[in-house]
Amino acid sequence: MNMNPLLSFNADEKSKMFILYILTIVCIFLEIVMHFYLGVEAGYTHFFYVVLILAGIWFQRKAVILALCLATTHITIGYFVFAEALWVPILRSAMFVIVTLLVGTLSEELKQTEATVKENEARFRAIYEGSNDAIMLLNEKGFFDCNPRTLQMFGVKTKEDFCRFHPADLSPPSQPGGQESLPAAGKHIEAAFLNGSSHFEWIHRRTNGEDFPAEVLMSAFDWGKERVLQSTVRDVSERKRAEAALLAYISEMAMRLKIPVEIIRDNIQEITDLINGGKLTKEEMVIMLEGQVRNATQIAANVQEFQKAIAEKNKEIPEAYRKFLEG
């Protein structure tokens, strides 16, 4: 974004220097002809401001050097022509330096601001373009911009193609709760415009027909005179798979702990009854009790195996929990 057209002058440093060089010669020429020969004290010096302002814009406070040169020339010639009224060229020369310093300082600040703006713009663009989340902008008419990840996530070739879709077009006909996607999407968009934001889970559909679970965050903000929504869509397929695996793990774990422990309990009770009834030989007692010890040992081994398996298979498990699972 250009803050000042002059700052983005296309000429390079050398051509700027060359222009200033020519203009300075013109100034000196004016000084000699108008001041020295013709005795004109003022008027022509307005041209000096053109050179000094230009120098101030291009070279910031370094332009003061040029201002001092022109001021010295002006005072020197004034000294020879109007020796008795030297304070006038001195005052005028002081104005040269002050104006140049002012313009140079302003230009420097402007340049810094421009650099900051450019840096911020580059940073935000990098975040927008490089985000792993799909980020899209929409107004009340529909989508009008999106980042590259959006195209990748939904399998759309161009932004223009993407902007033709309604959010409901990128969803299956209905959501898991049974609600139809079109009115449900409309409600979320309306809520985001009304409340400033809306956060919800959604099943999206890629253009190849593949559905995927997503987390959607819609934030409303003013863009110029228009109220727009930034919609951030995060594909949470991996996380959902990990959750399902974790659920399956817990279910299997519960089943393979509760039932075997109950079996061991009942077996021991039964063995006790058989011993009390005098129905077991010593060898049979050993076999049966060893069997229960082996069962219990196997249960402990199963727990360890489960822990390792779940830690290896699910990348989304927090590190602390992973360490716990790995024993």
Partner 1 sequence: MATIVDPEDLAKKQIFLILASPAKMRQRNIELIKEISSLGYNTVVITTNFPYSVLTKLYSDSGIDPKTVSFIDTVTRNSIGSAENIPRVVRYVNNPTNLTDLGIAVTEVLQENAEKKVCILYDSISTMLIYLSSPNISKFIHFVTNKLRLMDISGVFLAAEKGLDPMFVSQLTTFVDRVIDSG
On whether the CB atoms of residues 177 and 194 are closer than 8 A, the answer is no
Residue 225's φ and ψ, nearest 5 degrees, are -95, 0
Q: Give Cα separations from 35 to 20, 110, 262 (angstroms).
A: 21, 36, 114
Minimum separation from the CB atom of position 290 to partner 1 (A) = 4
Minimum separation from the CB atom of position 127 to partner 1 (A) = 43
Q: Which residues here bind partner 1, judged by CB under 8 A?
A: 251-252, 254-256, 258-260, 262-263, 266-267, 270, 274, 279-281, 283-284, 286-288, 290-291, 294-295, 298-299, 302
Minimum separation from the CB atom of position 210 to partner 1 (A) = 24
Minimum separation from the CB atom of position 241 to partner 1 (A) = 17
How far, in Å, CA of 108 to CA of 80, rounded? 37
Residue type at 211 in one-letter notation: D
Residue type at 28 in one-letter notation: I
What's the number of CA atoms in the CB half-sphere (13 Å) around residue 186?
5
Minimum separation from the CB atom of position 211 to partner 1 (A) = 22
Radius of gyration over every alpha carbon of the chain, rounded to an integer in angstroms? 41
- Residue closer to partner 1 by CB (options 122, 301) is 301
- Residue closer to partner 1 by CB (options 278, 327) is 278
Coil, strand or helix at 74: helix
- Residue closer to partner 1 by CB (options 142, 291) is 291
Residue type at 231 in one-letter notation: S
- Residue closer to partner 1 by CB (options 33, 263) is 263
Q: Which H or E element spans position 20?
A: helix 13-30
- Residue closer to partner 1 by CB (options 159, 240) is 240
